[in-house]
Amino acid sequence: MKNKSKDQEERILIAAQKRFAQYGYSKVTMDEIAADIEMGKASLYYYYPTKEKLFQVVMESEQGEFIKEIDHLLAKDIPASQKLTGYVEIRHKYFEKFINLGTLHFHSAMDSQSLYQDFFKKFTEMELSLIEKIIRDGVERKEFRKELLECLPRLILHIQQGFRFLFLKKTQENKGNKSLLGNLKKDLQILIELLLIGIKN
């Protein structure tokens, strides 16, 4: 069995990322991705045996970029309140990118499969850890009230998840309404601003 080439895997991922972003998960075929990089379909399946697996790797790649961006934000010497608002903005951008990749269809098709569930479970745990770092930083700077350290990160996570769930529900009811994402972003920004008023020392 031949060894897999890292360069070839990267070419496949870039091509798949472009396809999914332009057309959405459901409308992209493995034949099209293979044609984009002039690769035989059999060779493509050697690297990624299913479209679902390839899409999962694309999502993991996007997650890696998200973590890098958040780590860069957390390393800045700025108030924790700015880190929190920055986090919400970056997280929304990441959510919007996933919507463009076509995760709405993928979500409904794959929610019963443990591979997909495990991915989002791990991402949720990672996201909670990042929020905890921001809140802990605010407490240590005496910017946030320390009694909120235990409950606030999970509350912020659940608020964002609730808003995104509402967006997904409205999107299914109002297909093609492009203003919904903008409204979601505005609502989250307002909510975080109000939240910061209540948690500051």
Q: How do residues 104-131 score in pLDDT, each as one tens digit?
A: 554 544 444 555 677 788 889 999 999 9
Identify the CATH assignment for 1-49 out of 2.40.10.480, 3.40.50.1000, 3.20.20.70, 1.10.10.60.
1.10.10.60
C-alpha distance from residue 190 to each of 8, 89, 160, 187 (Å): 44, 12, 12, 5
- Could you give the angle at the alpha carbon of 131 between the alpha carbons of 128 and 132, nearest 5°? 85
Chain mean pLDDT for the chain: 85
Residue 144, helix vs strand vs coil: strand
- Per-residue pLDDT band for 103 (boundaries 50, 70, 90) equals low
> CATH 1.10.357.10 occupies which residues in the chain?
52-199
Q: State residue 109's pLDDT score.
A: 45
- Per-residue pLDDT band for 11 (boundaries 50, 70, 90) equals very high
Q: State residue 143's pLDDT score.
A: 95
Burial of 157-181, coded b for 16+ CB within 10 Å and e otherwise, reads: beebeebbeebbeebeeeeeeeebb
pLDDT in tens, 24-79: 777 899 999 999 999 998 999 999 999 988 988 988 898 899 999 999 999 999 99
In 10 A of CB 7, how many CB atoms? 7
Q: State residue 111's pLDDT score.
A: 47
> CATH 1.10.10.60 occupies which residues in the chain?
1-49
- Per-residue pLDDT band for 147 (boundaries 50, 70, 90) equals very high
Identity (one letter) of the amino acid at 27?
Answer: K
> 103 and 196 in contact (C-beta within 8 Å)?
no
Tell me the average pLDDT across 145-151.
91
Identity (one letter) of the amino acid at 172?
Answer: Q
CA dist 175 and 168 (Å) reads 10
Q: State residue 176's pLDDT score.
A: 54
Q: State residue 151's pLDDT score.
A: 93
- Per-residue pLDDT band for 96 (boundaries 50, 70, 90) equals confident
Q: State residue 136's pLDDT score.
A: 95
| Element of type H or E holding 80 | helix 80-101
> What tokens appear for 54 in the block?
């390839």
Residue 98 confidence (pLDDT) above 60? yes
CA dist 98 and 120 (Å) reads 12
Q: Which fold has domain 52-199?
A: Tetracycline Repressor; domain 2 (1.10.357)
